[in-house]
Amino acid sequence: MHAIWASVHAFEDATPGPDSRRGKLSGATRVSVTVIDSADPENYVELHGRVSIFGAVYDSGDYAVALDRALAAAGYEDLRAEQAKRRADGDVAQLGIGLSCYVEITGAGAESGNPSEDATVEVHPDGSATILTGTSPHGQGHATVWAMLASDELGIPIDKITLKWGDTDLIPEGGGTGGSRSLQQGGAAVQKASQELLDVARQRAADELEANPADLVFDTCRSAFAVAGDPDVSVPLAKLAEQERLLVRAVFHHARRDLPVRGPRGRDRGGRRDRQGGAAPGGDHR
């Protein structure tokens, strides 16, 4: 079996949900699970571990390891042994084992362009920092995670980092939240802005310390630049922000690949291209 083609139609009898949560993801997962299960119900795990029915190219992910860990956590071999015993004994209470595995695309861009997101990071003279993000958190914990990303790069404590979003006077561009894109695009933009801020700060520190920028090392424990081999000769980011605002706006772009859109029997449907980007997370459930 090289590939399948499926058309999924979803009927909503309650409040409509977005197609990524209902029709596409759940429908495609059901099709893939059903096809593999129908091919050989007794060897579902073995088939799923080595069969890809969508023909997609993933840039990362070790899905076989995730499946193995799920099976181990569930005690799958013991369950199959118990299942076989009950069948052999003609037990009135038979044992069914449900297993579902999926891989999806998250953070992909639209036809209008590549996946991207904006972020601005600013360090203030009092040693605190502010992050402006184009994402729009509503319970996912962006404030914590974005602060952690900036803190790892800048050495500023998390409780001294403020996240702002949704204010178009401060943040004129941004993609909001949707398609599980926030961390891999918005978070990446925050990390990129923090790293580029250090590049700007390095030159200022070199001027302040009258040193070669290449001779400076950044100490995250002190949030300061110091001359290599002489840590006492240093200057913190907070001081570098006193004379001139220390901030950087960065735009994270995710590279995309142009792939042919496949139709029935794996045939190229021609003309239109399936421009993919983003990541490919997966899950295994028993």
- pLDDT value of residue 109: 59
- pLDDT value of residue 24: 56
Stated as kind and residue range, the H or E segment containing 256 is none
Helix (H, G, I), strand (E, B) or coil at 218: strand
- Per-residue confidence band for 7, with pLDDT thresholds at 50, 70 and 90: low
- In the numeric block, the tokens 């099709």 are attached to 31
Q: Can you spell out the DSSP letters for 98-114?
A: --EEEE--BS---TTS-
Least trusted range by pLDDT, from 14-18, 105-109, 131-135, 192-196: 14-18
pLDDT in tens, 121-143: 999 999 999 999 999 888 888 89
- Token digits for 235? 């200057």
pLDDT in tens, 45-55: 777 665 554 55
- pLDDT value of residue 38: 76
Sign of CA dihedral 266, 267, 268, 274: negative
Report whether pLDDT(105) > 90.
no
Mean pLDDT of 90-108: 83
- pLDDT value of residue 267: 42
Q: Buried b / exposed e across 131-149, counting CB within 10 Å, b at 16+? A: bbbbbbbeeeebbebbbeb
What is the distance between the alpha carbons of residues 78 and 95, in angstroms, rounded to a whole number?
12
Report whether pLDDT(240) > 70.
yes
What is the distance between the alpha carbons of residues 217 and 202, in angstroms, rounded to a whole number?
9
Higher pLDDT, 236 or 66: 236
What is the distance between the alpha carbons of residues 248 and 234, in angstroms, rounded to a whole number?
22
Class of domain 23-109+257-285: alpha beta
- Per-residue confidence band for 101, with pLDDT thresholds at 50, 70 and 90: confident
Sign of CA dihedral 78, 84, 87, 88: negative
- pLDDT value of residue 208: 95
Least trusted range by pLDDT, from 7-21, 89-103, 113-127, 245-259: 7-21
- Per-residue confidence band for 113, with pLDDT thresholds at 50, 70 and 90: low
The reply to whether 116-253 shares the fold of 23-109+257-285 is yes
Higher pLDDT, 30 or 259: 30
Per-chain mean pLDDT for the chain: 80
- pLDDT value of residue 269: 39
pTM for the model stands at 0.72
Given the DSSP bridges, would you call strands 161-164 and 129-133 parallel, antiparallel or unpaired? parallel
- Token digits for 203? 């030159």
pLDDT in tens, 145-183: 999 999 999 999 999 999 999 988 998 888 888 777 888
Q: How do the domains of the chain map onto residue ranges?
A: 23-109+257-285, 116-253
- pLDDT value of residue 275: 42
Other beta carbons within 10 angstroms of residue 217's beta carbon come to 13
Second CATH level (architecture) for the domain 116-253 = 2-Layer Sandwich (3.30)
Report whether pLDDT(270) > 90.
no
